[in-house]
Chain A
């Protein structure tokens, strides 16, 4: 194999690091080990570093009950200063993919993604990302006549991209085993607080923002107003009309937000995504789903 520059070796070794979750073997060599803290030693440490994102499959409850919704979650734990991508109209990166295999007859519902944060990289490149801890909610509907005689195993496979200055793709094959539980309320698991935290960042229906939230279209410009807000931020999703000048105009420290969009096309017809609202009276941000088509006025 030809010798590669350090930057390529890092990418190649990092890729090898977490396929199957294993770390790369240190290279065997007859030469003496480099002095600690030397550039060579530091490069060797970087090449062996564990993947900066840990993905696990967790459940909100300690078991499953037929005739109810089981809440699973893809829990993401990222090292400081690393980020991974929300399914949005990102400038860069690659979307995460998650597939779930549940027992026959169990229906996996649409994934629920908590609201992201804006990340602006050098060159004014804007992405919508998760940092620190995040959890993607996975609702699974269990039919009432499902068997409750044995534990079930649910498997999932995930791929993602995690970046700091460099980007490292990741993947994991995950599983969770859940016993059947009787009684109306299965006990909560130790992961339950992560579900609560994730739900706080799920967008509510826009109708819940009435009458505080109003909007008006003027051609391609959408003016949003939320009475009492001191900060508004719009996160366009993957199918939204493309937001122009998003770095400067996607967030404002006021009660109004003026968003100018590209013209609709075959794939993009409406401004869709999440609006984050911060008011002076409420220390926690609120999130609302936005789905607004330009109107001719």
Chain B
């Protein structure tokens, strides 16, 4: 089918623009990528796309797929990198004090990566800040990745399409996707919205421990705290 060929070509080329088209095109994903089904919106009406009900990824549903470029210029496709893995998405902005809290003042995400990367968990940071906004752009994120020694890709979503598809509101905002492609956690990184102090419950760690033990996630949804994601208009 024409649409399937177009879809496969765009993904193979790894174009960043492919991520936008992937979310809005009326294409059927090829059978082998079926795990991360995309939303089959017949209407590509902009208003419908931006409306709350369409853009919020819900726990228990298949997480939206995406293909974004990282700060080294590499294309990262969720369907490929996340195949048979648990995926942790962390919404990121190097200028936000709450991101500083968890990457510089404390080693929250580094510790999670240390403990879980070897157990089949993939970590990805995503910056949905629009061009010109605080913390946006390849330079600021490349420097933060280097200075904070972030050992996983920092992806740039300057159009905000992926952020809106997930309903990412704050930095940090954490989404965890199970091996079956379904969202199992949506919310805060921990239970203390203080700008420096960590909470006594790291919700990501609790969820990952349960997932790896084959148990359902007890706390699957919490209210995230942090700076607003710096979307464009």
Contacts and interface: CB of A to CB of B under 8 A. Distances in A.
A56 B226 CA distance: 24
A169 B160 contact: no
Interface stretch (A8-16, A145-153, A276-284, A286-294): A8-16
B98 A94 contact: yes
A186 interface: no
A247 B231 CA distance: 16
A5 B142 CA distance: 10
Interface stretch (A117-125, A205-213, A217-225): A117-125
Interface stretch (B27-35, B106-114, B117-125, B131-139): B131-139
Nearest to B93: A7
Interface in B127-160: 130, 133-135, 139-140, 143-144, 146-147, 160
A245 B51 contact: yes
B96 A5 contact: no
B231 A122 contact: yes
A123 to B, nearest CB: 3
B147 A8 contact: yes
Contacts of A125: 169, 228-229, 231
Contacts of A161: 195
Nearest to B225: A94
State which size class the interface on A falls in.
20 to 34
Contacts of A5: 94, 139-140, 143-144
A121 B228 contact: yes
A166 interface: yes
A161 B231 CA distance: 20
A8 B98 contact: no
A244 B52 contact: yes
A297 to B, nearest CB: 24
A91 B97 contact: no
A4 interface: yes
B195 A94 contact: yes
A123 B140 CA distance: 21
Nearest to A19: B196
A122 B230 contact: yes
A247 B170 CA distance: 17
A123 B163 contact: yes
A30 to B, nearest CB: 24
A245 B75 CA distance: 34
Nearest to B227: A167
B169 A8 contact: no
A7 B94 contact: yes
Given A7-B95, A122-B231, A244-B52, A165 B225 contact: no
A189 interface: no
Contacts of A8: 94-95, 100, 104, 140, 143-144, 147
Contacts of A93: 170, 225-228
Nearest to B139: A5
Given A7-B140, A94-B225, A165 B134 contact: yes
Nearest to B141: A5
Interface string A1-33: 011110110111011000000000000000000
Contacts of A214: none
B160 A123 contact: yes
B100 A159 contact: no
Nearest to B140: A5
A117 to B, nearest CB: 16
Contacts of B226: 92-94
Contacts of A127: 228
Contact of B52 (A4, A165, A245): A245
B147 A4 contact: yes
Contact of A122 (B104, B130, B195): B130
Interface in A234-260: 244-245, 247
A244 B55 CA distance: 13
22 contacts: A2-B146, A4-B147, A7-B95, A7-B134, A8-B144, A12-B100, A15-B97, A15-B195, A92-B225, A92-B229, A93-B228, A94-B193, A121-B228, A122-B230, A122-B231, A122-B233, A159-B195, A165-B133, A165-B230, A166-B95, A169-B195, A245-B52
Interface of A: 2-5, 7-8, 10-12, 14-15, 91-95, 97, 121-125, 127, 159, 161, 163, 165-169, 244-245, 247
Given A8-B94, A95-B193, A122-B232, 8 more contacts: A5-B140, A8-B104, A15-B100, A92-B227, A97-B194, A121-B231, A122-B130, A167-B98
Nearest 8 A/B pairs, CB to CB: A123-B231, A169-B195, A7-B95, A92-B228, A94-B193, A167-B227, A5-B143, A122-B231
